[in-house]
Amino acid sequence: MCGIAGLIHRGKSSNVGSELQGMLQALKHRGEDSTGYALYGDTDGKNFIMRFKVGENVGEGSSSIMEDVSVYDERKKIVDQTLAEMGAKVVKEERTLPYSLRYELDYNVKDLLEFSQRIESIPGVEILSMGKSLEVIKDLGNAKMVCDRYSLDKVVGTHAIGHARMATESGVDIKSAHPFWGYPFSDVSVVHNGQLTNYWNNRRVLENKGMRFMSECDSELIAVYIAEKMRDGATLEEGMKASLTGLDGVFTYFVATKDSLGMAKDTMAAKPLVLYESDDLVAMGSEEIAIRSVLPQEIDTYDPFDGEVKVWQI
C-alpha cells in the first residue's frame, strides 16, 4: 500500500512544495519508507536542472550499503569532469546532502539519452530528474521529513506529483523510491500505486529497445513504458491509454510533463483515487484526506472509473 498525490494549478502558480507536502503527509499511514516529490517550479526555462545522487541514504530500514562521504566526493568530481568534457557549464550548484545534488546547467543538450548515459556510466551516480522545470526530490522518511531536509516548502510552481511509499517489492532506498523520471525525456515524471505483474517481460522488451532501468521497482516500468511510447511519437495521453492493456496488474498512476498532469487507472479499478476538479485547480490523491489538506472546505470529489485516463494542461 502506497499513497500518491498530485495537483495542478491552471493559469497560475502556487506554493506547490508546501501543498504537496501537506497532501503526502496526510497519506503517511500508507507508507513512510520513503517519500518523493516531482515539483514543476517556475523557472526562466533557460537552463537545465539536473537532480542527481552520488550515493544512497543509509538510514533506518535502508537496504543500501554504507559508504564513506569521500566516495561521494570522488563521484561528484567525476561528474563535474564529465560535464566539462561535454561542454556543460554548471551555473549553480547545491549540495543539500552529501549524496544529493542539484545542478543548473547551461548546456545545449542535443541528445538527452546520450548525455544521461554518460553521466550514469559513472558508478554510483543516478540522475533523479532532468528538465527545465521538473525537479525530483526523494529520500527515506515521511513527507515532512523529506520536505524539511530539502527545504521544499518554499518551492513555487504550477503542478506537482508525489508518492508516500511502503516498500513491498524492492528495497528501502532512494533508487527504488518514486517519482521516477521518464528517462530520457526532459520534464517527465511518474508516481504509481499498485503492482505490475508483467514487469520482467516488459522490461526485457524495453531494454532490448534501448531503454534504461535503474532499479528493480516495478513502478519504474511505467515511466519507461510511456517514455518509449513517446519516443515513438505517441502523445502522453496515447501512451497512457496504451498502458491500460500493455501493463498487467493493478495500478493507479500519475504522469506529469512540463505543462500537463495525467492520471490512469487500471481496468479493474483495484487501486484508489479520489479526484477534485475545478476550473483553476485539479487535486487528486489515494484518499480524500490528501485533498482536504489543500481544500479544507466542503468540495465535490469523485472516484474515476476503471480504465480511465485523464490529462490536464496548466
Partner 1 sequence: MANLKTVSKKSKAQSMGMHTEVLTGRTQQKFFNPDEAENFYYFGTYDVDFNKRTELDVKDMTAPEANKEIDNLMSQGYGTIVIKNPQGKHSLGVGILNKLNLIFEGSLGYFGMGSCDGPIVRINGRVGWSCAENLMAGKVVIEKNAGSCFGAAIRGGDLICKGSVGARTGIDMKGGTIIIGGDAGAFTGFMMQRGRIIILGDVGINLGDSMYDGTIFVGGEIGSYGSDAVDAELTKSDQDWLKRKLKVAEIGENFDVSKMKKIVAGKKLWNYDNLEPTEKKGAI
Query: Which segments within the chain are labelled E, that is strand?
Result: 3-9, 34-41, 48-53, 89-97, 100-106, 126-131, 134-140, 157-165, 180-181, 189-196, 249-256, 260-265, 274-277, 281-285, 309-313
The vertex-135 CA angle with 226 and 139, nearest 5°, equals 95
Using rule CB under 8 A, residue 302 touches partner 1: yes
Report 279-298 residues binding partner 1 (CB under 8 A): 287-289, 291-292, 296, 298
Using rule CB under 8 A, residue 303 touches partner 1: yes
Give the residue with the Cβ less far from partner 1, 88 or 274: 274
Pairing of strands 157-165, 3-9: antiparallel
Using rule CB under 8 A, residue 300 touches partner 1: yes
Q: Supply the DSSP symbol for 40.
A: E
Using rule CB under 8 A, residue 200 touches partner 1: no
For residue 225, the minimal CB distance to partner 1 (Å) is 23
Nine-digit cell string for 76? 561528484
For residue 290, the minimal CB distance to partner 1 (Å) is 9
Using rule CB under 8 A, residue 272 touches partner 1: yes
For residue 298, the minimal CB distance to partner 1 (Å) is 6
Residue 2 bears catalytic tag = yes
For residue 153, the minimal CB distance to partner 1 (Å) is 22
Cα(215)–Cα(221) distance, rounded to whole angstroms? Answer: 10
Give the residue with the Cβ less far from partner 1, 8 or 26: 26
Cα(135)–Cα(102) distance, rounded to whole angstroms? Answer: 9
**Residues with catalytic function:** 2
Binding interface with partner 1 (CB under 8 A): 267-270, 272, 274, 287-289, 291-292, 296, 298, 300-303, 305-307
